[in-house]
């Protein structure tokens, strides 16, 4: 079997992040936030990882002022959106770099998060499809913040591609044995 025909390609090409308006409108407890993020990003969980995000990670992001402190131990929709972004980008960037991306952008949370979702999906498709099927996301204007967002999502997409190739190769070796 060829990698391009594998379930790894299919699951990435079918991947879609929930948009801001699809995130819960109610305040959430930590366990609910963890569940939402784990379910949304399960496709990126590598074989040697147990969790994409943990309670202590979230607490550290709050302590480091990457995200705002929850209100009475309840997280709002914007917390979930930022935690999804952090959970993805922490695979390729430092928390300090992610904090700068989140805290130095020019958009409202909803618009920024939805742009991130679109750009991530576009980057994944570009990396996992043949080069001649390259898809360009023309919905974003050219400014430094958007260039950073594009570069960050491409870095993540490339990392996922390498991980999936490795998993596919190991699967093929196990079939042969």
Per-residue model confidence as pLDDT tens digits over 133-158:
556 665 566 788 889 999 999 999 99
Per-residue model confidence as pLDDT tens digits over 76-97:
999 999 999 999 999 999 999 9
Q: Number of folded domains in the chain?
A: 1
pLDDT score of 176 = 73
Bigger pLDDT: 28 vs 142: 28
- Domain span at 11: 3-176
Question: Which region, left, alpha or beta, applies to residue 72 given φ > 0 means left and ψ of -120 to 50 means alpha?
Answer: left
């Amino acid at each position: 079997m060829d990698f391009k025909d594998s379930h790894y390609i299919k699951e990435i090409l079918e991947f879609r992040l929930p948009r801001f308006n699809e995130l819960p409108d109610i305040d959430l407890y930590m366990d609910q936030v963890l569940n939402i993020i784990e379910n949304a990003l399960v496709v990126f969980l590598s074989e040697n990882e147990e969790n994409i995000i943990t309670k202590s990670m979230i607490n550290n992001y709050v302590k480091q002022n990457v995200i705002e402190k929850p209100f009475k131990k309840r997280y709002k929709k914007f917390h979930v959106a930022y935690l999804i972004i952090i959970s993805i980008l922490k695979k390729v960037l430092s928390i300090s770099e992610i904090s700068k991306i989140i805290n130095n952008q020019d958009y409202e949370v909803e618009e920024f998060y939805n742009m991130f979702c679109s750009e991530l999906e576009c980057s994944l498709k570009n990396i996992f499809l043949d080069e001649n099927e390259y898809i360009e996301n023309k919905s974003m204007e050219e400014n430094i913040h958007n260039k950073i967002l594009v570069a960050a999502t491409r870095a993540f997409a490339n990392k996922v591609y390498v991980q999936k190739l490795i998993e596919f190769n190991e699967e093929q070796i196990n079939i042969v044995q």
